[in-house]
């Protein structure tokens, strides 16, 4: 009997010793340091995620989720079944957007509606075909009471030719005319000044923007891509 017990104990010990080591959870400070070292972008904040066992990482490239032991990371939308498939990622993204957009409000290039009902921010690039289409219909948006406020988002990134063109626009004396000219391939004067273009681009990336036009509604929700004036009005009315 003793021999049998000894064999059982030896088997248990063998299983325990050969089992994979479970990594200890990192603190939020440790997680931030680790992922900033591994990822090619800045992590702004690490906090508890609605998903048990995961941290929420808010970065200059958007929201990510990471296991608390720091071994796994993923991106995408996190939904809650108990709230009717509420997109928790989008809710947080809207909160971040509202705060970040405040920082650049005075730097936007605005095409105002005379009888404004809504004001949207559009991240734009003068070389983008659908940005040009939207701008060619600016009067239609304005006639429906939609003010268009433009922010810069050079698709080629900082220091690209698109970035240089947008900086020339923001350095011009007449921003509205310069932006319209740039979208119609009319040469504009080269400028040299401090512009908000880099800041706008970084904010756009942190909001998850990866193409233009990208429309930010008053509630902070992002609508990617071109929307005709009537369709955008319906979206705004439904957004509340």
Q: pLDDT (tens digit, 9 = 90+) per residue, 95-138?
A: 887 777 888 999 999 999 999 999 999 999 999 999 999 999 99
Annotated catalytic sites, by residue? 125, 128, 131, 155
Name the band, by pLDDT with cuts 50, 70 and 90, for residue 93: confident
Q: What is the mean pLDDT of the chain?
A: 87
Name the band, by pLDDT with cuts 50, 70 and 90, for residue 17: very low
Give the per-residue pLDDT at 85: 83
Q: What is the pTM of this model?
A: 0.74
- The single-letter DSSP state of residue 82 is G
Give the per-residue pLDDT at 216: 92
Q: Strand order in 214-216's β-sheet?
A: 109-111, 146-152, 118-124, 214-216, 222-224
Question: Hey, which residues does 214 pair with through a beta bridge?
Answer: 123, 224
Question: Does the pLDDT at position 8 exceed 80?
Answer: no
Least confidently predicted of 12-21, 182-191, 199-208:
12-21
Residue 16 region, left (φ>0) first, then alpha (ψ -120 to 50), else beta?
Answer: alpha
């Amino acid at each position: 009997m003793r021999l049998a017990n000894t064999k059982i104990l030896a088997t248990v010990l063998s299983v325990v010793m050969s089992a994979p080591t479970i990594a200890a959870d990192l603190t939020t400070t440790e997680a931030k340091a680790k992922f900033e070292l591994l990822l090619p972008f800045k992590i702004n904040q690490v906090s508890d995620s609605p998903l048990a066992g995961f941290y929420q990482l808010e970065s200059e490239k958007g929201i990510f989720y990471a296991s608390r032991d720091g071994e796994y990371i993923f991106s995408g939308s996190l939904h809650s079944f108990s709230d009717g498939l509420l997109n928790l990622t989008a809710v947080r993204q809207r909160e971040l957007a509202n705060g970040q957009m405040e920082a650049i409000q005075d730097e936007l290039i605005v095409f105002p509606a005379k009888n404004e009902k809504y004001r949207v921010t559009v991240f734009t690039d003068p070389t983008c075909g659908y940005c040009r289409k939207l701008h060619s219909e600016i009067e239609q948006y304005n006639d429906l009471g939609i003010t268009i406020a433009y922010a810069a988002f050079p698709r080629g990134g900082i220091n690209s030719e698109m970035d240089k063109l947008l900086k020339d626009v923001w350095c011009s004396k007449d921003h509205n005319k310069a932006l319209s000219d740039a979208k119609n391939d009319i040469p504009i004067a080269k400028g040299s000044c401090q512009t908000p273009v880099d800041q706008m681009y970084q904010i756009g990336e942190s909001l998850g923007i990866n193409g233009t036009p990208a429309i930010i509604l008053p509630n902070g929700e992002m609508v990617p891509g071109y929307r005709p004036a009537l369709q955008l009005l319906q979206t705004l009315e439904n957004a509340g």
